[in-house]
Chains A and B, each alone.
Chain A
Amino acid sequence: MLAAAKYIGAGLACSGLIGAGAGIGIIFSSLIASTARNPQIKSQLFSYAILGFALAEATGLFSLMIAFLLLYS
């Protein structure tokens, strides 16, 4: 019974990755748009985009950690 609840909880906790996927898409779409506006500062924009990608991914992976926590302890 507890194991079934763990599996259900872990599956529900993975829905936090929806936000991560949406956030990463927004970051890179604005990278493409801003590079089209000003191609000269492409490298600076790319480094900001990588920083933003890592931060957005981290939030999604926090929820994945909760899923692992539920599943294995």
Chain B
Amino acid sequence: MLNTDYQTIVLKINSPLEQFEVTNLLGINSPFFGFFHLNLTNLALYSILVLVIIISIHYLGNNENKLVPSKWSIALESIYASINSMVREQLGKEVYYPFIYSLFFFILTANLCGNVPYSFTITTSIMVSIGLSFTILIAVTILGLSIHKISFFKYFVPSGTPLALVPLLVLIEMVSYLARAFSLGIRLFANVVAGHTLMKILATFLYQMFSAGFVMFIVTIIPFGLFLAIMGLELAVSFIQAYVFTILTCSYIKDSIELH
């Protein structure tokens, strides 16, 4: 009697979006005291890491008011000067500069931390990106309302429109204003998620090509060079997205202060 044994083929397709899952690392979950759940997720861990990196960069590069700058303080001062020139060019005054600087540094550090392989990018969490942009929109609206009181709504009527078009135009302008909350955050989120997903897919293919024999290993160096170029593009996208988020925030603050 033939003893046929068969193998079960497990068809589990891992999606390239699994790298963005927020998982609990350690926590306290108790059914007592009103169902107490306190978890440290990987998102929280990487947020703490970004905070520690930002604070340590600024603390260690301090240079204690010496006249001759050290290498580190030259870098920090040049970043300070470039963001300062951007804020002064857009807004004309430096009141909002600390906020813009910390926003830029936070998004830059968060994106750069995520470019390290096997790490988690906190801006791929939609709560971080859209929460940040939503908060900025609410803050900018409150700023505009507190400066201009009721004539803030003059912003929605562009100058020089015929009177018949005004209701339609006000509606369109209001929708476009409210969409800023989402577009600012989704721009950052989508760029980072798309870049990381692309790298995950390419790395999966490269892994299979690299582990397919000696000749294939040598041949795969060429696609690997392309993958390195895409990794460089990902690095550039981290800088560009931080810069664009910051400059659009400056532009929205400017729109609220001067209503046109």
Binding site for B on A (CB under 8 A): 50-51, 53-55, 57-58, 61-62, 64-65, 68, 72
Contacts and interface: CB of A to CB of B under 8 A. Distances in A.
Nearest to A17: B194
Contact of A58 (B187, B193, B243): B187
User: Secondary structure of the A side of the interface?
Assistant: helix
Interface in B175-210: 183, 186-187, 189-191, 193-194, 197
Nearest to B184: A58
B190 A65 contact: yes
Given A51-B244, A58-B186, A65-B186, A72 B17 contact: yes
A61 B194 contact: yes
Contacts of B243: 50-51, 54
Contacts of A65: 186, 189-190, 193
B76 interface: no
B151 interface: no
29 contacts: A50-B240, A50-B243, A50-B244, A51-B243, A51-B244, A51-B247, A53-B240, A54-B191, A54-B243, A55-B187, A55-B244, A57-B187, A57-B191, A58-B183, A58-B187, A58-B190, A58-B191, A61-B186, A61-B187, A62-B183, A62-B186, A62-B190, A64-B190, A64-B194, A65-B186, A65-B189, A65-B190, A72-B15, A72-B17
Contacts of B190: 58, 61-62, 64-65
A54 B241 contact: yes
Nearest to A44: B89
Nearest to B247: A51
B17 A54 contact: no
Interface string B100-134: 00000000000000000000000000000000000
A65 B190 CA distance: 7
Interface of B: 15, 17, 183, 186-187, 189-191, 193-194, 197, 240-241, 243-244, 247
Nearest to A64: B194
A62 B240 CA distance: 17
Given A50-B240, A58-B183, 6 more contacts: A50-B244, A57-B187, A58-B190, A61-B191, A62-B183, A72-B17
A53 B243 CA distance: 12
A68 B240 CA distance: 23
Nearest to B183: A58
Contacts of A51: 243-244, 247
A53 B197 CA distance: 20
A14 to B, nearest CB: 11
Contacts of B244: 50-51, 54-55
A64 B193 CA distance: 10
Nearest to B236: A50
Nearest to B17: A72
A56 to B, nearest CB: 11
Contacts of A68: 17, 193, 197
A61 to B, nearest CB: 4
B111 to A, nearest CB: 13
Contacts of A54: 187, 191, 240-241, 243-244
